[in-house]
Amino acid sequence: MAEPRSTSPHRNAWRRLQRNKVAIFGLCMLTVLALLALLAPWLSPYSYSAQNLALGPSAPSAAHWLGTDLFGRDLLTRMIYGSRVSLAVGFIATAVALLIGVTWGALAGYLGGRTDALMMRLVDILYALPFTIFIILLMVVFGNNIILLFLAIGAVEWLTMARIVRGQVLHIKQQDYIEAAVSLGASRLRIIVKHVLPNIAGPVIIYATLTVPNVILLESFLSFLGLGVQPPQSSWGLLIAYGVETMEEYPWLLLFPATLLALTLFSLNFLGDGLRDALGEK
């Protein structure tokens, strides 16, 4: 349960989080990955698109630490560049989901009554829409592009967020200090922004850390269907989808990208768990 902001719960939480070694490991891991992705052009030993057809797929060696793919492209470079797409999809789509979900849920919960019922009915409708088909149709109708991919995934993932936030807002609304603020004549918007939002930060952060891995996996599923990013770009999903096909012949093409994906998802999960414990959420 979220407590009123008396003793700066967030600072305490941060201290608790620091004591959780696995969570800090996750955080460091993610920071390193984000840096790698940002600095990709300066760090990568090779170009992500330059081919060497004569070389073809080769096992890890001194020249190519993680080997090369079918086109003789350096796998390490493709993984670093792939992290740009995958992390961007993960974080931007989650941000989209957060933005829509929090706004929608907070408004519905705060306004209440008929508006609330109407807004949540829309959430129900989208909830009942089988999301695979929904995303496939969206991609087919509007064509493959990365911006749409962010939006489509975000549009699917905001629903649970909206429900969580609404529940929290309904709960907080009944607290004494909000009623006090209302009786003091504060405007609704001011109340939402100043009092309600800070108090729902906990569950939202936790849910967000769990959404990011889901979204990264969703992108890889779309790549599996051929609806992901366009070549010569790469993403983890694309690398893995291709690696699976050749896992007997060129195992490194599956092993390294899959390990990287697993490490990232591990880190996100650890961080999510750590945050949950630190924020005292159940």
- Contacting positions for another protein (CB under 8 A): 49-51, 53-54, 56, 70-71, 121, 124-125, 127-130, 132-134, 136-141, 143-144, 213, 217, 220-221, 224-227, 230-232, 240-242, 244-250, 254, 258, 261-262, 265-266, 269, 282
Determine whether 186 is exposed, middle or buried from the number of CB atoms within 10 Å of its CB (0-12, 13-18, 19+). middle
Q: C-beta of 217: minimal distance to another protein in Å?
A: 6
Q: Nearer to another protein by C-beta: 106 or 159?
A: 159
Give 28 or 140: the residue with its C-beta nearer to another protein.
140
Smallest distance from another protein to CB 184, Å: 27
Backbone angles phi, psi at 205, to 5 degrees: -60, -45
Q: How far is CA 270 from the centre of its chain?
A: 14
CB of 40 to another protein, least distance (A): 19
Task: Tell me the DSSP string of 156-186.
Answer: HHHHHHHHHHHHHHHHHHTSHHHHHHHHTT-
Q: In a 10 Å sphere around its CB, with 0-12 CB exposed, 13-18 middle and 19+ buried, how is residue 7 labelled? A: exposed
Say if CB 123 and CB 163 are below 8 A apart. Answer: yes
Comparison of 113 and 130: residue with beta carbon closer to another protein: 130
186 versus 273: smaller Cβ distance to another protein: 273
Smallest distance, another protein to C-beta of residue 149, A: 13
Minimum CB–partner distance for residue 190 and another protein (Å): 27
CB closer to another protein out of 39 and 225: 225
CB nearer another protein, residue 43 or residue 50: 50
Q: How far is the CB of 99 from another protein (least distance, A)?
A: 22
Let me know if 88 is exposed, middle or buried by CB neighbors in 10 A (0-12, 13-18, 19+): middle
Least distance to another protein, CB of residue 86, Å: 13
CB 3 within 8 A of CB 9: yes
Residue 161: count of CB within 10 angstroms of its CB: 26
**217 CB-near residues (< 8 Å, 6+ apart):** 237, 265
Q: Pick the closer one to another protein by CB: 37 or 159.
A: 159
Q: Closer CB to another protein, residue 132 or residue 187? A: 132
Minimum gap (Å) between residue 141 Cβ and another protein: 5
What is the phi-psi region of residue 44: left when phi exceeds 0, alpha when psi lies from -120 to 50, beta otherwise?
beta
- Residue pair 119/108 in contact by the 8 Å Cβ criterion: yes
SS3 content of the chain, % helix, strand, coil (to 5): 75, 0, 25
